[in-house]
Chains A and B, each alone.
Chain A
Amino acid sequence: DVKVTQSSRYLVKRTGEKVFLECVQDMDHENMFWYRQDPGLGLRLIYFSYDVKMKEKGDIPEGYSVSREKKERFSLILESASTNQTSMYLCASRLTDTQYFGPGTRLTVL
């Protein structure tokens, strides 16, 4: 079974803090993705990576950056957290067509 893990299920941060969300997959997948999911807006792609050290902007990259130093790990960074970044963050990894999601991190920015 594919396993995608995320570092935290729940996280509470203060405005202006730097926030790191970690994602690890154990299936040697090339492609990894970060989404945020908000009520009424569905899943929105923030960034994705198709190889180590490679990254591409998704639909809503503003206020975020990413890092992929190793194939199994894809990190999402909020440089200076703001209240409008309160959301559910979902990491996914993919080989060919099948995409698997991690359990999600519910981030609250106060």
Chain B
Amino acid sequence: QKEVEQNSGPLSVPEGAIASLNCTYSDRGSQSFFWYRQYSGKSPELIMSIYSNGDKEDGRFTAQLNKASQYVSLLIRDSQPSDSATYLCAVNALRGYNKLIFGAGTRLAVHP
């Protein structure tokens, strides 16, 4: 089992819809969770972090964390074509020195 798992996609949604991206992780003791967005040919950029169970909202983005189920998700409301990118889930590793473990990413395509 991979430490951080994401569906590779592509996830295709129409413009204006809600895009739902999911991530599961294996280390039950993980405490910090992050979503990065990566456009084609560019480097990842941090868009959300979440540390506590529940929802965290930032503009059109909502991160959801359920530690009991070892599940973190990202919702994008009113999806725009400019949201088309690969979304990487990252979890802070308990072992070692403060490393992030990344999922392989989900490719999102928002079509007009």
Tell me if A110 counts as interface (CB < 8 A to partner B): no
Q: Which residues of B contact A58 (CB under 8 A)?
A: 99
Q: How far, in whole Å, are A42 and B42 apart by their CA atoms in the complex?
A: 14
Tell me if B70 counts as interface (CB < 8 A to partner A): no
Shortest distance in angstroms between B58's beta carbon and chain A's nearest beta carbon? 14
CB within 8 Å: A-B pair count: 44
Closest A residue to B92 by beta carbon equals: A97
The reply to whether B43 and A41 form a contact with Cβ atoms under 8 Å apart is no
Q: Which residues of B contact A97 (CB under 8 A)?
A: 32, 34, 49, 92
Question: Given the known A-B contacts A97-B32, A99-B46, are A31 and B103 also in contact in the complex, defined by CB atoms under 8 Å?
Answer: no
Chain B positions within 8 Å of A, measured between CB atoms, are: 32, 34, 42-46, 49, 88, 90, 92, 96-100, 102-105
Q: Other than A42-B104, A104-B42, give 18 A-B pairs with Cβ distance below 8 A.
A: A40-B104, A42-B88, A42-B105, A43-B44, A43-B88, A48-B99, A90-B44, A94-B98, A94-B100, A97-B49, A97-B92, A98-B46, A98-B49, A99-B90, A99-B100, A101-B45, A102-B43, A103-B43
